[in-house]
């Protein structure tokens, strides 16, 4: 009788399990819902035109991932600090990091390649550096600002004892095992020990979301996103220069490894945008590196420049929201914006093309059709 209960052959179950597992893996680039974003490979571009609050909520915060987000168990998480320039190798748990003085800093993180499609869309220059097309094709949405909380990297490294001969600190992400994901990018010891550089445990007051590096990520204000290593697994403190393809090929401009961000302003409108012929409150975000924004100007077509209103507090490591009111005549227009920071730096008329199409910060002629 029992022979009547017919099970499928074992290989059927193995096959089904395989399919479920594979789909599970395939769908696991991110933990957050991609609904608010434009997926670009393993990255998620924010809908820049929908960003309204000065602090970007996690549900709208872009994700730049070389591979899939890593799920790390916070209880068994360990951070190792090693290298030829530490006094002793130490292994720390999350509680050790929480026991150190916590600092909160409001800072923008922006992918070095954000706005790179504007080289094509505005200047007509092709941006495909390599045949695989590895460069993420961001328009405006590879940027966000959050309040980051955690211990200073300097305080964490002090637990291992930093020797005077230390020159470089290289964090490694736990996605190291995924192909192409050896995100080890060395910081000069000065930036690693700077007071603004922290190990982020919280984002906007909540525990760091998985896609943003839970439980521990680098927060390197003013520097391009690649330094903001997520899921930090270990830190190598070295007296010798650490170089790899990121420092020597991928993030290079004018023969130098890219470090700091540059000054930019961009409008929260789709690119290109369509508007009705009514009065509109147009907003955008302007940011620099290590300096607050002092002034933003805007202009339509060939009209003179006018001053935009600053709608939030300008911050050293953060962006400022700006806005102006505009009613356009029916037809095609361009609106341009340009920002100045406290040091008097401003945007160039045109961004300088470079092999990695990095750091686009030209004055953007944002195309708008009024109907
Ligand atoms: N471990 C790891 N850290 C990483 C990356 C990555 O792929 N793996 N991407 C980097 C890049 S290129 C950027 S721009 C920022 C983006 O941070 P976000 O995804 O939290 O917005 O994370 C950086 N940290
Ligand atoms: Mo990035």
pLDDT of residue 124: 95
Report CA(362)–ligand 2 centroid distance (Å).
Answer: 19
Report CA(342)–ligand 1 centroid distance (Å).
Answer: 28
Ligand 1 atom with the smallest distance to the CA of 230 is: 3
Residue nearest to atom 5 of ligand 1 (CA): 65
Residue nearest to atom 16 of ligand 1 (CA): 64
User: Residue 76: how many CB atoms within 10 A of its CB?
Assistant: 8
Is the CATH number of domain 264-370 2.60.40.650?
yes
**Do the two domains 6-257 and 264-370 of this chain adopt the same fold?**
no
pLDDT of residue 43: 96
Residue nearest to atom 15 of ligand 1 (CA): 225
Residues having CB closer than 6 A to ligand 1 are 61-66, 109, 111, 173, 175, 181, 183, 212, 225-226, 228-231
Top mutation candidate among 66, 134, 215 for ligand 1, by most atoms within 8 Å of CB: 66
Ligand nearest to the CA of 358: 2
Closest-CA residue to 261 (of 170, 164, 359, 190): 359
Report CA(111)–ligand 2 centroid distance (Å).
Answer: 4
Domain ranges, ordered by start, for the chain: 6-257, 264-370
Ligand 1 atom with the smallest distance to the CA of 65 is: 7
227 neighbors 187 (Cβ within 8 angstroms):
yes
- Contacting residues for 135 by C-beta, under 8 A, at least 6 apart: 113, 116, 127, 128, 129, 356, 357
pLDDT of residue 357: 94
Residue nearest to atom 4 of ligand 1 (CA): 229
pLDDT of residue 176: 79
List per-residue pLDDT tens for the chain, 371 residues long.
445 555 556 555 554 444 444 333 445 799 999 999 999 999 999 999 999 999 999 999 999 999 899 999 999 999 999 999 999 999 999 999 999 999 999 999 999 999 999 999 999 998 877 545 568 999 999 999 999 999 999 999 999 999 999 999 999 999 876 666 666 789 999 999 999 999 999 999 999 999 999 999 999 999 999 999 999 999 999 999 888 878 888 899 999 999 999 999 999 999 999 999 999 999 999 999 999 999 999 999 999 999 999 999 999 999 999 999 999 999 999 999 999 999 999 999 999 999 999 999 999 999 999 99
Report CA(213)–ligand 2 centroid distance (Å).
Answer: 13
Ligand 1 atom with the smallest distance to the CA of 114 is: 14
User: Which superfamily is assigned to 6-257 in CATH?
Assistant: Oxidoreductase, molybdopterin-binding domain (3.90.420.10)
101 neighbors 152 (Cβ within 8 angstroms):
yes
pLDDT of residue 160: 98
Report CA(173)–ligand 1 centroid distance (Å).
Answer: 9
CA angle at 322 for the pair 320 and 328, rounded to the nearest 5°: 160
> For 107, left (φ over 0), alpha (ψ -120 to 50), or beta?
beta
Q: Is the pTM of this model over 0.95?
A: no
């Amino acid at each position: 009788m029992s022979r009547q209960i017919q099970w499928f052959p074992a290989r059927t179950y193995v096959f089904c399990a395989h399919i479920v597992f594979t789909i599970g893996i395939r769908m696991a680039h991110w933990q957050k819902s991609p609904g608010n974003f434009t997926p670009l490979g393993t990255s998620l571009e924010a809908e820049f035109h929908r960003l309204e609050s000065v602090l970007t909520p996690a549900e709208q915060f872009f994700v730049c991932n070389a591979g899939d987000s890593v799920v790390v168990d916070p209880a068994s998480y360990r951070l190792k600090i090693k290298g030829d320039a530490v006094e002793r190798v130490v292994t720390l748990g999350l509680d050790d990091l929480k026991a150190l003085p916590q600092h909160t800093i409001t800072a923008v993180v922006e992918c070095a390649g954000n706005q790179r499609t504007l080289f094509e869309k505005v200047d007509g220059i092709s941006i495909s550096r390599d045949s695989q097309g590895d460069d993420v094709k961001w328009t405006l949405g590879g940027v966000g600002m959050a309040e980051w909380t955690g211990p200073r990297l300097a305080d964490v490294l002090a637990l291992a004892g930093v020797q005077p001969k230390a020159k470089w600190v290289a964090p490694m992400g736990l996605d190291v095992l995924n192909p192409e994901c050896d995100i080890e990018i060395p910081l000069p010891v000065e930036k690693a020990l700077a007071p603004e550089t922290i190990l982020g445990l919280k984002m906007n007051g909540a525990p760091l979301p998985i896609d943003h590096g839970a439980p521990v990520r680098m927060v390197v204000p003013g520097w391009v996103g690649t330094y903001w290593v997520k899921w930090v697994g270990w830190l190598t403190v070295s007296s010798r220069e650490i170089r790899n393809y990121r420092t020597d090929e991928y993030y290079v401009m004018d023969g130098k490894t890219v470090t700091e961000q540059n000054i930019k302003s961009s409008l929260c409108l789709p690119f290109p945008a369509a508007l009705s012929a009514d009065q509109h409150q147009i907003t955008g975000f302007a940011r620099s590196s290590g300096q607050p924004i002092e002034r933003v100007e805007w202009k339509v077509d060939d009209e003179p420049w006018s001053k935009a209103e600053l709608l939030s507090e300008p911050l050293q490591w953060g962006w400022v929201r700006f806005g102006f009111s505009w009613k356009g005549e029916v037809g095609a227009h361009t609106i341009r914006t340009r920002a100045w920071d406290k040091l008097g730096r401003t945007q160039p008329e045109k961004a300088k093309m470079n092999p990695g199409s990095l750091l686009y910060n030209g004055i953007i002629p944002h195309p708008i059709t009024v109907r």
